[in-house]
Amino acid sequence: MIEKTLVLIKPDGVQRCLVGKIIQRFEDSGLKIIGMKMQWIDKEFAKQHYTQDVAERRGEKVREVLLDFITEGPVVAMCIEGIKAIENVRKITGTTEPKAAAPGTIRGDFAHVSFSYADNKEIAVKNIIHASADQGDAETEIKLWFKPEEMHSFKTVHDTFIL
């Protein structure tokens, strides 16, 4: 099943100059970037991304630190397409807590912060990247971050082998 998903390289990933290395991970696996841009978002836009249900699931304090974190610098937004893209992107990304992320994943290789450290410092977990959790989130997030005219369909060499 060909899917689309949203990936954000968060401000810490941009500030650490990891954009190229992260893009390469997705392209090397055969996934296709069909939309990409750099954007410095404001708090109002961030609230649309981290909706109120984040506060209901994880607490208002967590939502506030996430809002502060994602607005502290530019973000690289990508719409990635491929077979089971949501699942495969999340596998490449690694678990949300960098300390627990497996070596070979983006978070496992480029971050090491724990939830407890971030909680003690009252900061967001610097975990480099966001990836849509499921199909519903992917559809909502892609519509928020990209206009239809910012998406570009094309064939890659991988398409000839998988389609």
130 is catalytic: yes
Name the residue with tokens 């609230």. 47
**pLDDT digit string (tens) for the chain, length 163 residues:** 899 999 999 999 999 999 999 999 999 999 999 999 999 999 999 999 998 776 677 778 888 999 999 999 999 999 999 999 999 999 999 999 999 999 999 999 999 999 999 989 988 999 999 999 999 999 999 999 999 999 998 988 887 776 5
> Model's pTM, two decimal places?
0.94
- Could you give the C-alpha distances from 93 to 97, 109, 161, in angstroms and in order? 11, 10, 24
Contact, 40 vs 74, CB < 8 A?
yes
Catalytic annotation, pick one of 49, 130, 152, 158 = 130
- Choose the CATH number for 2-162 among 3.30.70.141, 3.10.350.10, 3.40.50.300, 3.30.1330.100: 3.30.70.141
DSSP string, 48-83: HHS-HHHHHHH-HHHHHHHHHHHTSS-EEEEEEEEE
Return d(Cα 136, Cα 147) in angstroms, integer.
Answer: 17
